[in-house]
Structure 1
Amino acid sequence: MRNPPLYCLIASSLAGLLLLLGALAAQGPGAAAVASQGGARSPSPDPGLADTASFLHPGFLDPDCDPDLLPPWSAIRCRFARFLEGRRLFDDEHFGGNGRTCETCHSGRDGTIDPDEVALRLWLDPDDELFTHDGLDDFTSGTSRLEAHATILVRRELPPWVQLTHDPAATSVVLARGVPSTVNTPALDPALMYDLRDHTLEGQALGAIEGHALNTVPPTELELELIAEFQQTGRRFFSSEALRRFARGGPAPRLPLGRTASEQRGREFFVDAPWDPPSKKGLCAFCHSGPMLNTANEFVELPTGAPPGFRAFDIGVSTRNVLNNPVVSYDVTDFCGTTLTVESSDPGIMLTGPYDILPELVALLPPEQFCILHRAFFVNMHKTPQLWGVADTAPYFHDNSAKTLEEVLEQYNFMFESNVGFPITDSNVELTEQDIEDIVAFLRLL
C-alpha cells in the first residue's frame, strides 16, 4: 500500500490542530490553558483561541467582508467565508427558479455539457433540472436536440438596428448554442459568451439566473460578486496549476515544446510568424496567439485594420451550418441609414453591437466614419476561444457542431476552400491529413 503524499499528511495535521484548538476554545476562555498547565485555569481569555473558534464556527463566517481591510488572521477567515458562500451559490442556489444552479450546466472538469453527459443524466434522472425550459426542443417538451448536440435555446433580444425580414415586429430571435466552458475563462478571459454580450462575470451570472434558471428571487450584488469570485479562484475552473498561478500574477503559460515529431510539427502552426505561403508556419496563431491563445497576433492584416488582440472572427461555422439549425433573414441598418439583408443560422456579435464590444474599432473608425464599415459586416462573427485544456472541452464552436478536434480542423478546411471569413482564404490553403494529425497531437498537450 502506498504511503500518502507529504502534503496530505501536512493538511491532515493542520486540520486536526485547528479542530483541537477550536474545541478547546469552545469549552471556555481558559480551556487551552487548563490542558497545557495540568489543570491550572488561565486567569484571562486567550483572544487567539477565541478567534480560532469563531473561524471554525459557521455562524462567524460572514462573507460580507473585505479581506484587504482586515488584519491577516481575519483576512484569511474572510476569504474562506467568501469562498464557501461562492461555492454554495454556484453549486446549490437556484434563487427560487426552476431548480437549476450554475453547476447544472457547468459541471465536471470541462465546465460544460456534452452529449455523453446528457445521455447519462437522462438515464439517471429524467427529471434532472437540465431537462427543462431552454433544454427542451421547443421550451416545453422533447430532449432530442439536447441529447444529440448538448445545445440549449438562447433568446437574444434584437437591437434597434436589426429586424427580422419575415417578421419586422419581432423583438427577439431564438438560437441553439452550446454551453460555454468555465475552464480558464472566468479568471483569464475577459471576453465572455460566444457573442461577447456580457462584459463582466456578474452580468453573465445574472443573465443565466434570469434567463436559464428563471429565478423568482433576485440575487443581491454581493451574491453575484461571490459567484464571480469563486469562478476566478476555485481549482475546478483551471485546466492546470500553471494557469491558476498565472491568474494570481504568476508567469504567463508558454507553448509546450512537444515530445514527438508530430507534436513538434503541430507546434509550428501556433508560433507567431508572418504569412508566407506555401509555408503554413503560424497559421493557427493568426487568431490563437497571446498567453491564452485567443487573440490575433501582430502579423494579422484584416480588412478592418484591427490591431493585435482582435477577439472575434467568422470561420464559416454559421454558413456551413452542419447541424441544419434554422436560417433567419435579418435586415440590418447602419449609422447612415443604409439597410442590408443577411441570412444566418447564428449571426453572432452582429446582434450585440460590434462598436460597443470591440473598442479597437472605435479607435480605428471615429463616429463620423462608422458608415464605412456596415454593421452587417459583423454577421457570423463569434468569440475566439482560449485553447488551454481544449482537449477536454468538446463539443466545439458556438453551435457544438464539431464533436472532435479533427472535426474542428475540417471546419477550417471548409473556411479555406469556400473563401468565407478570414482574409487569407484566397491563398489556396489546405490542411492535409498529416497537418490535422499534427495539430491535434499538439492541441492535446495544451
Structure 2
Amino acid sequence: MPYLVTLTALANLHAGPAPQAGPGHAGPSHPPDGEELFDEETFAGNGRTCASCHRRDGRDVTDIDPEQVQRVYRHRPKDPLFRSIDSNDGKGNDYSLLLRDATFRIPFVLPPNVTVDERDDNVYQDAQGRTVVVLRRAVPSVRNITFEDHLMYDGRENADLAHQAIAAVQTHNEPGRLPTQREAEAMSAFQRTLFTSRQLERYAEGGPPPELPHGSTPAQRRGRRFFEQRNAPDGLCAMCHSGPLLNTTNVFNPIEGPNRRIAGNFSSELNANGYPAYTFHFEMPDHTVRTIRSPDPGRTIITGDPCIDDPAACTINPGSTASIFKIPTLWGVSNTAPYFHDNSAKTLEEMMVHYQRFFHITAVGLQNPDFEIDDQEASDIIAFLKLL
C-alpha cells in the first residue's frame, strides 16, 4: 500500500504551535457567509484572505497571473500577497519567482520510503525529524471546482473542498485560528457557485453535458478534430482531454489507458521555469530503489510510488514520466492562463510550443510520427481552444 502524505502533516509545517481549529473553536453565532469569508477573512493571520491569491474581478474569481502580481507589487509592495513564506528562500529576501511566475512555496513531508540527496533552503528536517521539500506551485483555479474529484495539482485532497479550505489557510495565511467547520463548508459552498460559463453551471444543476463547439472557421474545425475521441493523429488532444469536462484520458491513450485523472505531460521534466531539480530515491515494496531527478515529482511525492498512478514510469523508459499531475478541464481555458502546475506556459501559444515538444518526444519514444504536431496544427488547436 503506498505511503500517503497526510494533510495534518502538511498543515503543521510552518513555525509555531498549531492554531485552534474546527467545531470546538468559538466562531460566529450566525450562519457564516462563504463569499464574505472568501473575500475578507484573514483568520488572524498574515493579512491574506482567499481572495489575495484567487483574485476578484467583480463577481468573477480569476486565476492569479504574473501580471497581476507585478501590478500589486508596483503599487503595494507590502501587500499581504508578499509574505516571507513565499519568497524565493522563505525568508523574505527575494520575491523574483513570485513576481515572474506567480508561484508559491508549498511544503511537503516526504513519505517514509522517500529520500532526497540535496540540502538547501527548500529541503530541511522539521521538528519531528521528517524531511520536508518545498516546491513552487501555481494557484489552482477555483472555477468549475464543483466538478472536481481531485483537488490540488497532485490530487491530494480528493473532493473534500471544506477540508482543503482549512489546509490552505494553514499553509498560506499563518493563521491565529483555523476556519471552523461551518466556515469551511460556507467557503466551499461559495466556491461551488463559480463557473467559467452558464453552460457548465446548467450542467452542474443537472442539465445536459457540454458539447464541443463545431467551429465556424476552417482553422477552428480542423482544431476540433484533435479533441474528438479518436486515435492519433485525429483525437490527439482527446487522449488526455476527454469526457464531459475534457479532463480524463480515453481508450486511445497508449501510455495511461482510459479514465485516468492523473497523467504526465513533461511540464516538470522540460522545466521551462528553470527551477532547481532534486534527486529523489523511492524504496519500492520489493526493496528495489527507483531514482527520479525532478524539480517537482507531482503526484509521486504524495504516494511515494512512481508506478501506482503512472504505470508507464515503471514499464516504458522507467523514471522518465514519474512527474505527473491532475489533468485540468479545458473549458474556459482561454481565460485561465498561465498553464501547468508551475505556470511555465504564460499563454496558449507557449502552451502549444510545450506540447509540440512533448509530442515530439512521444513520437520518438513510440516510433510513431503521427504524434508530431506541426505549426499549422498548433495554430488550429489554439483557434479551437478559444471557443471552449
**What TM-score do you get using the length of structure 1 for normalisation?**
0.72
CA distance in structure 2 between the aligned counterparts of 1:206 and 1:271, rounded to whole angstroms: 39
Map of 1:400 onto structure 2: 343
Bigger CA radius of gyration: 1
Map of 2:165 onto structure 1: 205
Q: 1:283 aligns with which of 236, 259, 262?
A: 236
SS of equivalent to 2:108: strand
Q: Is the 8 A contact 1:415 1:425 kept in 2?
A: no
Measured after TM superposition, the shift of residue 411 of structure 1 is: 1.0
Q: Is the 8 A contact 1:262 1:438 kept in 2?
A: yes
SS of equivalent to 2:137: strand
Q: Is the 8 A contact 1:272 1:285 kept in 2?
A: yes
Question: Cα distance 1:372–1:380, how it changes in 2: closer, same or farther (>3 A)?
Answer: closer
Q: 2:106 aligns with which of 148, 154, 167?
A: 154
CA distance in structure 2 between the aligned counterparts of 1:120 and 1:310, rounded to whole angstroms: 38
Map of 1:53 onto structure 2: none
Task: Encode CA deviations 1:168-191: one digit per residue, 9 max, x unaligned.
Answer: 96611111111111121x211221
Map of 2:280 onto structure 1: 330
Measured after TM superposition, the shift of residue 372 of structure 1 is: 8.7
Task: Among all aligned residue pairs of Structure 1 and Structure 2, give the percentage whose two residues are the same amino acid.
Answer: 39
Question: Cα distance 1:400–1:207, how it changes in 2: closer, same or farther (>3 A)?
Answer: same
Q: Is the 8 A contact 1:197 1:357 kept in 2?
A: no
AA matched with 1:176:
R
Aligned length, in residue pairs: 345
Map of 2:47 onto structure 1: 99
Summarize the alignment of residues 1-150 of structure 1 with structure 2, pairs less than 5 Å apart: 62-63=30-31, 85-108=33-56, 109=60, 111-141=62-92, 142-150=94-102
CA distance in structure 1 between the aligned counterparts of 2:251 and 2:260, rounded to whole angstroms: 10
AA matched with 2:135:
L
Measured after TM superposition, the shift of residue 274 of structure 1 is: 2.6
Measured after TM superposition, the shift of residue 157 of structure 1 is: 1.3
Question: Cα distance 1:354–1:282, how it changes in 2: closer, same or farther (>3 A)?
Answer: farther
Task: Encode CA deviations 1:67-122: one digit per residue, 9 max, x unaligned.
Answer: xxxxxxxxxxxxxxx6xx11111111111111111111011346321111111111
Larger relative CO (CA 8 A, sep 6+): 1 or 2? 2
The answer to whether 1:379 aligns with 2:353 is no
Measured after TM superposition, the shift of residue 417 of structure 1 is: 2.4
Q: Is the 8 A contact 2:266 2:321 kept in 1?
A: no
The answer to whether 1:183 aligns with 2:143 is yes
Q: 1:250 aligns with which of 172, 186, 207?
A: 207
Question: Cα distance 1:246–1:313, how it changes in 2: closer, same or farther (>3 A)?
Answer: same
- Listed as ranges, the gaps of 5+ residues in structure 2 are 1-28
Map of 2:195 onto structure 1: 238
AA matched with 1:181:
S
The answer to whether 1:292 aligns with 2:245 is yes
Measured after TM superposition, the shift of residue 151 of structure 1 is: 0.9
Task: Encode CA deviations 1:125-176: one digit per residue, 9 max, x unaligned.
Answer: 1111101133322222222111111111111111112111245966111111
CA distance in structure 2 between the aligned counterparts of 1:123 and 1:409, rounded to whole angstroms: 31
The answer to whether 1:413 aligns with 2:370 is no
AA matched with 1:394:
A
Q: Is the 8 A contact 1:112 1:181 kept in 2?
A: yes
SS of equivalent to 1:395: coil
Measured after TM superposition, the shift of residue 336 of structure 1 is: 1.5
The answer to whether 1:435 aligns with 2:383 is no
SS of equivalent to 1:175: strand
**What TM-score do you get using the length of structure 2 for normalisation?**
0.82
Map of 1:319 onto structure 2: 269
Measured after TM superposition, the shift of residue 378 of structure 1 is: 6.3
CA distance in structure 2 between the aligned counterparts of 1:331 and 1:354, rounded to whole angstroms: 9
Q: Is the 8 A contact 1:416 1:426 kept in 2?
A: no
SS of equivalent to 2:227: coil
Once superposed, what is the RMSD of the aligned Cα atoms?
Answer: 2.8
- Listed as ranges, the gaps of 5+ residues in structure 1 are 1-60, 64-81, 365-370
CA distance in structure 2 between the aligned counterparts of 1:301 and 1:423, rounded to whole angstroms: 14
Question: Cα distance 1:424–1:86, how it changes in 2: closer, same or farther (>3 A)?
Answer: farther
CA distance in structure 1 between the aligned counterparts of 2:164 and 2:172, rounded to whole angstroms: 11
AA matched with 1:293:
L
Map of 1:346 onto structure 2: 296
Map of 2:155 onto structure 1: 196
CA distance in structure 1 between the aligned counterparts of 2:315 and 2:373, rounded to whole angstroms: 34
